[in-house]
A and B are shown apart, each in its own frame.
Chain A
Amino acid sequence: MRNIFLVIKREYMVRVKKKSFLIMTILAPVLFVGGYALVIWMAISSVDSKTVQVVDESGLFTNEFKDSESIKFSYLKSSIDSAKSHFTGSEANALVYIPKNVITSPKSVRIYAPKNVSMELKSEIEDVIEKQIENIKLSEAGITHKILEDSRVNVHSETISLSAEGEKTSSSSAATIIGGICAFLIYMSVFIYGTQVMRGVTEEKTSRIVEVIISSVKPYQLMMGKIIGVALVGLTQFLLWIFLTISLTTVASSVLSNKMPKDSKQMQQEMQKIQKGMPASQMATSGVDNPVAEVLGAVNSLNIPLIVSCFLFYYLGGYLFYSALFGAVGAAVDNDADTQQFMLPITLPIIFSFVFAQFVLRDPDGNLAFWTSMIPFTSPIIMMVRIPFGVPAWQIALSMVFLVLGFIGTIWVASRIYRVGILMYGKKVTYKELAKWIFYKV
């Protein structure tokens, strides 16, 4: 026991002291938060407004183009030809020409610009013209604006899970997001830390220290020490990421909020404007239309303690299951370059489970979902996708039992391969030989 603890300590300390660990631990949240902050900052600060000149020969669009935060419209009374000739001298970014016969031939609208105009600008201009023509055509057909507004219906359904405990508002989008995140995290860490275990084993082999070590420590202890040590490294990094992300987000948002008040005031005003123009029936639903609020509300409806504890279980179980196999691969080969041939059968199920996860998200109670969440090769990822949607307790329990049996199995197999492999040099190993090693007496 003392020895396994010493091995864990070494594996942990060596990795945590590495520069790459420090860089990854700090850089990942910085990039993550930085990326978001940049996007938000750009969105806030893009007050770089464009001016668009309009030559409206039809006379139908007077004052229909509304100035917005980013686009200012100005109407020219001159003819299109003189407008064009003046355009290059002006500061305007684009020139919109609406001919007289726009209603009959809407395709004759032209946008002139020194460079290509952005999709956003183009679609905004087109939107206004389309709406106006639509309105004109509708009123020609005898349909008033009022009738039109009343005919627009916004259907919104709420999913309510019916169970013994009664009705509970649930949200499939919240479940999808939570399930997806959990699956992705497990997928990533199995890969990252599994490969670290493998590298560690090959390093001991290629540096030839392994024989010295196993004259003091049982190979099984060395392998388990490594697996546990790396798991703790992963956990440390994980916690540091969460901690750093939260603190960075706090800092970033407080910096950005200096810019925020102006915008949020404008937003509020716009909201009020919109709401005033809206019929009462629609106003009631507008609050719920906000998907973020809906998800946040629904998250509360999810069984958070269950999700968190299952996440920890499957995170650890999946890692143990696969890292043992990765360790066995490391022991079977002489150097990193040779690992490829044995990696495939290990990485395939991980990648497949991630692919299956997309289907399971769509049908969390189907046959595929059930079986893949039972088989330990895929269950750590798939079960985590399903759990936020609600899974019968017996299924979770069964899947957990299988996973525990699974990782006991892979650790057993891996340790059999490991104890033979670490002392085997200069030999290209085949699958047949690996199978033999499992039953060797050492």
Chain B
Amino acid sequence: MNIIEVKNITKDYSNHRALDDVSLNIPKGSIFGLLGPNGAGKTSLIRIINQITGPDSGQVFFDGQPLGQQHISKIGYLPEERGLYKKMKVGEQLLYLAQLKGLSQKEAMEKLKIWFVKFDIKTWWDKSVSDLSKGMQQKVQFVSTVLHEPELIILDEPFSGFDPINANLIRDEILELKQKGSTIIFSTHRMETVEELCDNIALIHRAKKVLDGPKSLIKEQFKTNTFYIEYRGSLNGLEQKYQLENTKQSENDFLRTNIHLPAGITSNELLSDLLPQVEIRAFGENIPTMSDIFMRAVNEIPEA
């Protein structure tokens, strides 16, 4: 079941195409990473999902229905360019933002109390936003994004500007929200976050979707059939059958080498070839990191 289905969306701005026939599905209950270099079109797509702008062609479905006014209160959005009214008090501001998302004043008040206790920020209620540090303001922004318990939470570069402690706090909250059944879209170019949190990803580059799917499948797809081995001894004689790459000294006179397997040869066969020759300390498959995948996918696309 997909909470969001994007179908053939194209969006043009006066001098460039922001999105070019982009289609993707965001499964319910997942953490979805929307990746891409700066200016790829991520924010344009997010704004379309938030109904801030409309697509030139194509359609977006929310829970199977065409996206409409009634979905606004089901989405929580933390934009990359985010801020608060500087001179407004924290409590009033959160009440206002919650009411704009359709909560009644009473509901908003009750929910806010829970969050203020949870984040231990009770003393902030009557503070003016301009008296808070940047990190504190971001906590307030996060609360405003999730307060109305949206089914879909869209976070655009959520960790930029957070110190590690607050970043952890927010990360835990995100995981908890996922547990409760919310779907989360991350837009980011920080691959560590993606590696750690995302179940599914889509990569957008130069307005086009380059790849998408579950993270594990994509990693499988990007595997190069390369294994690493740490060993003592010599690999002489193996270079005819295998492609040996990047041999270097590891600690305690162990060597480390990457071995690329030709098609049709399994890792077991490699092991049986290795066993008589060297003393093996470690052996494993080189799984590409998200960062590798990102770089490869982006570099494979020629400049337009």
Contact = CB atoms under 8 A, between A and B. Distances in A.
Among the interface residues B47, B77, B85, B100, which one has the most CB atoms of the partner chain A within 10 A? B100
Contacts of A442: 53-54
Contact of A215 (B52, B83, B141): B52
Interface in B80-111: 81-88, 96-97, 99-101
A16 to B, nearest CB: 13
Binding site secondary structure of chain B = loop
B69 to A, nearest CB: 9
Contact of B81 (A6, A211, A217): A211
Nearest to A209: B83
B79 A216 contact: no
Q: Contact residue range for chain A?
A: 20 to 34
5 contacts: A3-B100, A207-B84, A211-B79, A215-B52, A216-B72
B54 A215 contact: no
A292 interface: no
Contacts of A217: 100
- Closest 7 A-B residue pairs measured CB to CB? A208-B83, A216-B100, A211-B79, A207-B83, A215-B77, A215-B50, A209-B83
Contacts of B101: 216
Interface residues of B, number: 29
A10 B77 contact: no
Among the interface residues A203, A207, A215, which one has the most CB atoms of the partner chain B within 10 A? A215
A436 interface: yes
A14 B52 contact: no
B86 to A, nearest CB: 5
Contacts of A10: 96
Interface of A: 3, 6, 10, 14, 203-204, 207-209, 211-217, 423, 425, 436, 440-442
Contact of A208 (B51, B54, B82, B87): B82
B75 interface: yes
Contacts of B54: 441-442
Given A6-B100, A214-B52, A425-B81, A14 B88 contact: yes
B14 interface: yes
A219 to B, nearest CB: 8
Given A203-B86, A204-B85, A212-B82, 14 more contacts: A6-B99, A203-B85, A207-B85, A208-B83, A211-B52, A212-B77, A212-B79, A213-B97, A213-B100, A216-B72, A216-B73, A217-B100, A423-B52, A441-B56
A261 B81 CA distance: 69
A72 B72 CA distance: 84
A442 B13 CA distance: 9
B144 interface: yes
A14 B93 CA distance: 10
B88 to A, nearest CB: 6
Contacts of B85: 14, 203-204, 207, 209
Contact of A440 (B14, B50, B86, B144): B14
A208 B77 CA distance: 13
Nearest to A440: B14
B80 to A, nearest CB: 8
A212 B52 contact: no
Nearest to B87: A14
B72 A212 contact: no
Contacts of B78: 212
B14 A212 contact: no
Contacts of A215: 50-52, 72, 75, 77, 79
Interface string B100-127: 1100000000000000000000000000
A436 B15 CA distance: 12
B96 A211 contact: no
Given A207-B84, A423-B52, A441-B54, A212 B96 contact: no
A6 B79 CA distance: 22
Nearest to B156: A211
A211 B14 contact: no
Nearest to A436: B14
A3 B73 CA distance: 12
A84 B21 CA distance: 105
Nearest to A14: B88
